[in-house]
Structure 1
Amino acid sequence: MTAGRRLFAWLGAALLAVALTACAGLPTSGPVNPGRAPGEAEGSQEVFFRPVGPLPGATPQQIVEGFIRAGSAPGAGARWERAREFLAPDFRSAWRPSAGVIIDLENDRVPVETGEGLVSVSLTVVGTTDARGSYQQADEAATTLSYELAQQDDGEWRITAAPDGVVLDRALFPSVFHEYAVMYFSPGWEYLVPDVRWFPTTTAATSIVDALVNRSKSDWLDGAVFSAFPEGVEARPTVPVSAGVAEVELTESVLASDTQALDRMQAQLEASLATANVTAVQMSVDGTPLEATAAPVRSTRIPGAPLVLTELGFGYLAGDELEPVAGLTDVMTTVDPVAIQTSADRDLAALLLRTGEVARVRDDRTSVVLDERAGLLDPTIGPGGGVWSVPREDPSALRVFPLAGEPIDVEGAFPDATGIEAFSLSRDGTRLAAVVTAGGRSVLWVAGVGRGADEGAIVLDEPLLLSVLGGSGVDVAWLDDQTVGVLVRQDDTTVVLEQAVGGPGTTVVAPRDAASLAGGTSLSNVRLRGEDGALYVRRGSTWQQAAAGIRVLATQQGAPQ
């Protein structure tokens, strides 16, 4: 392995450690980045760059600078032919641009000629992607890349050794690489769960199918989700798309799959490729179409109206009226909650009571106290009705209270965390987002929810760092299947961080007294509750008060099907 390749491999492993030891903060000024409209894929507009090739008489430093700039042009088939023009002929086939991306700050690049035919470039790294397209945030880590060059027979300098992968400025990255969701199933085959990857737009369909069928899931999700594609089934190297229809050629071993498995494969392919604007998918073997209909899956969308508790009762707020929730509205008058999260079917809710206890209520108007430990956080509820609860000062003491049976202590809960400020389970039940204190700072983690070796055991996989918060986390909620919202207090400012799971995040300044948040029907539909009971909704770059007297702004884990 060359020194350059070792450096790139090292970067992916080192980013988590760097992020927990360097200083950073969330921006509290600058332009507001609005969320996507419903159904709109981020980076859906393709942008193509045409950097110039090597100029006659260019110095080694100029060749390296041009080579790095050429990383913005993957070209047809993502072969990076323009970048290869800067390489010596013997090195062109050895360089692997698909190894990943280093995302940096272009203005911080410092190229230096360290000797004859030797150039080093200092970078400020803000993120990376690996060969699978998985994104990892960095905390503006400084690193150096080394390049070797030699004069060719015509006297021109060309690169003879360079790190694999490409380097892209943070502003260019989402234009050259777009965000795509590779879809897997939740346990029970009920939900589709996105595993976000970043691929060049020129090879989106082929890259998505390759990731889904031929490659492994992201490490942090490995134990939490499942694929209908069995081991041994592979997809052919290219996926042609004509008139919106993708042709996915599979190996013969798929013929051993039954109808149910084929339908699930079809569902995964259709949902995954839809993020690349593919409207239909045809699976085939040796050119013979396979008969399959996408298996039905459950949606995680929630209603548009906010779900609140006021002095009038509990229900969906429409103007000055409350639409009650059958069964649950009545039981809320018998308890005194300060936090509420309802199940997707609205037959259960997890509560934090004013007494500090965690309880579960049912739509049969009954309630039961589950957890009486001191310092409990707002609980979260899973698809099976299990209520998750944890003390603020003891993150490892995470516990699940199932509908039947004894409480379950979660294995591997929040390693190395000394405190936890807020947490929430994704609506499909496969991922747990948490704001924890680690390394003396407040960070946002997400971990896959897996099953242990013992029957009924629940395990949190190794967490993925999503963001280092420049303040204290006040509340956290899933805004959609792949975005976590965090309310962050920074000195005299409060911001909402909208953090993509597997991508960069954006921040929006929020009302100073915001105390809780909840998702809506889209990213631009986030709701906030102020300490005085005001309900705020976002209108473009500003927040407007929509109601008053809100005692609790509830979060929802979906809607009845």
Structure 2
Amino acid sequence: MPDSGNLKAVDASQRPDSQSQVRVYAMPPGENAGPVEIVQGFLEALTSDDPQFAMARKYLTKDASKGWNPDVQTTVLDSGPTPGTGSVGDGDTGRTFPLTGRKVATVDDEHAYQLDDEAYNQSVHLTQQDGPNGKEWRIDRVPQGVVLGQSDFQRIYWSVNKYYFATRSSGATGGGQEGLVADPVYIRQRIDPVTESVKALLDGPTTWLKQVVGTRFPTGTRLKAGTKTLAPDDQGKLTVPLNAKADQIGQERCTEMAAQLLFTLQDLASSGVEEVELQRRNGSQLCVLSKERAESVASRRIAEHPDFQYLIDDKRQLVRMPAGARGKADPQPVPGKLGSGEQPLRSAAVSRDEERAAGVSLDGRSLYMGSLVSEGALGKPEVRSKAKSEQDGLSTPSWDGRGDLWVADRDPKRPRLLWLEQGAGEPLPVKIANLDGRIEAVRVSADGVRVALLVKKDGRTSLRIGRVERTGAKGEQPQISVDGLRQAAPQMEEVTAMSWAGGSRLVVVGRESGGVQQLRYVQCDGSMPAGATLPGLTGVKEIAASEDEQQPLVAHSDDGIVRLPTGAQWQTVVEQGSAPVYPG
């Protein structure tokens, strides 16, 4: 522990400095080590920062080391594997040690994190072999992959977003491809993260996401044979030599490939990559792209630097206040009818260009569309619910980055998720595969590819993430469906509010079994990074975040409308109000 040195302020949104974190160095087997020491030493070696697990292999026989592939899968247990008592089988001169625990998740060979709460039951077998000092115990049968506890996993592995292009269906307007979509994966953060991130990107999107995204790298593109490591030069330029699969691509496609690389490496704050050069197999240049130009080549669909934060005031009208402001605020009614109080509102959603808003009536049965740039009439409701209770009816709407609007009708007799193309026209019901429960809230990611749902069943509300798929004939209105529903925030027994807070991250409000209300960040793959808990707040009813991670969180709590600026504590900005939202 350090006992001297200056104090240093840390930005709450920063990643911990990887150089200041604890490092674990594996130790080789001790001389005359017994079976128990060998098993424990091997398990400890799996938690080290050893690049190729060279020290862990010293605990294995030569044949076992050749057959063991640590990259097949990483199994994450809640508190690490527990070795049992060694046993001897009939006619066996070795020892078998069971390894048990409770799974939290697995990380597969695609680096994708998948929740798993099953029991872990494996074993290792030891035998005696000739060594330099006589007989020595070594492991000759070992489970494939790596197994370790959750705390070690959070120390060793780092969540990184790979970026791929969202593919439009033939039935969508415009054709072609859209902006970039974040595909979160986990890599070992100290074992050449730049090279590992590039390799993971070239491997293509994860299985869960690949139905709705695509890469601009030609099939089979890999790093040039013999390339061991990648690192930027003193000017922040990263040179990436590719194999022959990329030799014949054109300039436009090449710059799109480079944009995927640049955005992927942005999560590696220590990488220092400012520019990417792609090279052919013979070393000639394919293209060069700087970080400044990357946004013009392929945008990540986020509401960049929104002008305002929005809420419903005590007069039940839509008001706004400057985004990012500190201290007390004086929200002003938005331009147009939704800010006039003519139609009392319970919630609203603002389009990402901040030119339109969708408002839900106070009784929850009608959804109105209004302009934020003109004084046009409000018109008839775009959506009506037949719910009898005001506690049911329409949820808070959500806009995706394509300009389409989503809203859930919570009518117990006819619950449904509705989609309105460009926020107008006939609302279309969205088919949801394997939905078990009623949708209470909906938030669509900026890229329009993923949707977060709060689903209620048997009095319990949980968070689900689904994949948005669009199908249909060219020129016709697409059919919208949600597939691949998976759980997020499984540690929370009850989730009461959520909002997207980045390309693959959400902020959620809920509580664990027997616990108190918490605010936490979670990844859309269900993982919960270390240090994801936010400062406490009393009685949070609603939460709003921007995909622009520099913007403060906004919440409706017992203290009114409050904001959490970066590196500060919660601050009350409006004493009376509800339903805070950012554009989206």
Aligned to 2:238: 246
1:441 Cα deviation (Å)?
A: 4.5
Superposition RMSD on alpha carbons, in Å? 3.1
Query: Quick check: 1:377 aligned with 2:395?
Result: yes
1:468 Cα deviation (Å)?
A: 2.2
Which residue identity lines up with residue 48 of structure 2 in the other structure? A
Q: Is the 8 A contact 2:80 2:150 kept in 1?
A: no
**Deviation readout 1:400-437 (Å, 9 max, x if unpaired):** 011355333223x1514212232201122221111223
- Give the percent of matched residue pairs that are identical in Structure 1 and Structure 2: 23
Query: Quick check: 1:285 aligned with 2:280?
Result: yes
Q: Is the 8 A contact 2:276 2:288 kept in 1?
A: no
Aligned to 2:91: none
Distance 2:137 2:415 in 1: 57
CA 1:99 to 1:407, structure 2 compared with 1: closer, same or farther past 3 Å? same
Aligned to 1:112: 85
Distance 1:85 1:524 in 2: 49
Distance 1:537 1:206 in 2: 36
Q: Is the 8 A contact 1:182 1:212 kept in 2?
A: yes
Query: Quick check: 1:517 aligned with 2:543?
Result: yes
**Deviation readout 1:39-75 (Å, 9 max, x if unpaired):** x446644653212111122222321221111012243
Which residue identity lines up with residue 433 of structure 1 in the other structure? A
Q: Which moved more, 1:498-507 or 1:483-492?
A: 483-492
Distance 1:264 1:395 in 2: 44
Aligned to 1:316: 321
Q: Is the 8 A contact 1:224 1:431 kept in 2?
A: no
CA 1:175 to 1:532, structure 2 compared with 1: closer, same or farther past 3 Å? closer
Distance 1:37 1:246 in 2: 29
Q: 1:431 aligns with which of 441, 450, 470?
A: 450
Aligned to 1:264: 256
CA 1:229 to 1:56, structure 2 compared with 1: closer, same or farther past 3 Å? same
CA 1:350 to 1:313, structure 2 compared with 1: closer, same or farther past 3 Å? closer
Query: Quick check: 1:149 aligned with 2:175?
Result: no
Query: Quick check: 1:448 aligned with 2:460?
Result: no
Trace 1:38-437 onto structure 2 (pairs within 5 A): 40-41=14-15, 44-45=18-19, 47-75=22-50, 78-106=51-79, 109-115=82-88, 116-139=94-117, 141-154=118-131, 155-187=135-167, 189-200=177-188, 201-213=190-202, 215-236=203-224, 238-243=228-233, 244-276=236-268, 277-279=271-273, 280-286=275-281, 287-293=283-289, 294=294, 295-298=297-300, 299-303=302-306, 306-310=309-313, 311=315, 314-317=319-322, 319-322=328-331, 325=334, 327-328=335-336, 331=339, 333-356=341-364, 357-363=366-372, 364-366=374-376, 367=378, 368-373=380-385, 374=387, 375-392=393-410, 393=412, 397-403=416-422, 405-411=425-431, 413=432, 415-437=434-456
Task: Identify which of structures 1 and 2 has the higher relative contact order when contacts are C-alpha pairs closer than 8 Å and 6+ apart.
Answer: 1
**Deviation readout 1:1-29 (Å, 9 max, x if unpaired):** xxxxxxxxxxxxxxxxxxxxxxxxxxxxx
Which residue identity lines up with residue 127 of structure 1 in the other structure? A
Q: Is the 8 A contact 1:421 1:474 kept in 2?
A: no
**Deviation readout 1:308-344 (Å, 9 max, x if unpaired):** 333486121554433665x457655333221122111
Structure ID, larger Rg: 2
- Could you state the TM-score of these two structures normalised by the residue count of structure 1? 0.83
CA 1:472 to 1:504, structure 2 compared with 1: closer, same or farther past 3 Å? closer
Query: Quick check: 1:476 aligned with 2:498?
Result: yes
Q: Secondary structure at the match of 1:283?
A: strand
Q: Is the 8 A contact 1:395 1:417 kept in 2?
A: no
Which residue identity lines up with residue 409 of structure 2 in the other structure? P
Q: Secondary structure at the match of 2:46?
A: helix
Distance 1:511 1:269 in 2: 38
Q: Is the 8 A contact 1:246 1:282 kept in 2?
A: yes
Q: Secondary structure at the match of 1:261?
A: helix
Distance 1:125 1:512 in 2: 33
Distance 2:500 2:516 in 1: 22
1:289 Cα deviation (Å)?
A: 1.4
Which residue identity lines up with residue 121 of structure 1 in the other structure? L
Which residue identity lines up with residue 376 of structure 1 in the other structure? L
Q: Is the 8 A contact 1:239 1:248 kept in 2?
A: no
Runs (5+) with no aligned partner, structure 1: 1-33
Distance 2:205 2:329 in 1: 47
1:84 Cα deviation (Å)?
A: 0.6
1:114 Cα deviation (Å)?
A: 2.9
1:523 Cα deviation (Å)?
A: 7.5
Q: Is the 8 A contact 2:99 2:122 kept in 1?
A: yes
CA 1:336 to 1:438, structure 2 compared with 1: closer, same or farther past 3 Å? same
1:159 Cα deviation (Å)?
A: 1.2
1:361 Cα deviation (Å)?
A: 2.2
Q: 1:537 aligns with which of 564, 568, 577?
A: 564
Q: Is the 8 A contact 1:239 1:246 kept in 2?
A: no
Q: Is the 8 A contact 1:420 1:435 kept in 2?
A: yes
Q: Is the 8 A contact 1:209 1:239 kept in 2?
A: no
Distance 1:539 1:226 in 2: 34
1:290 Cα deviation (Å)?
A: 1.1
Runs (5+) with no aligned partner, structure 2: 1-8, 89-93, 168-175, 388-392
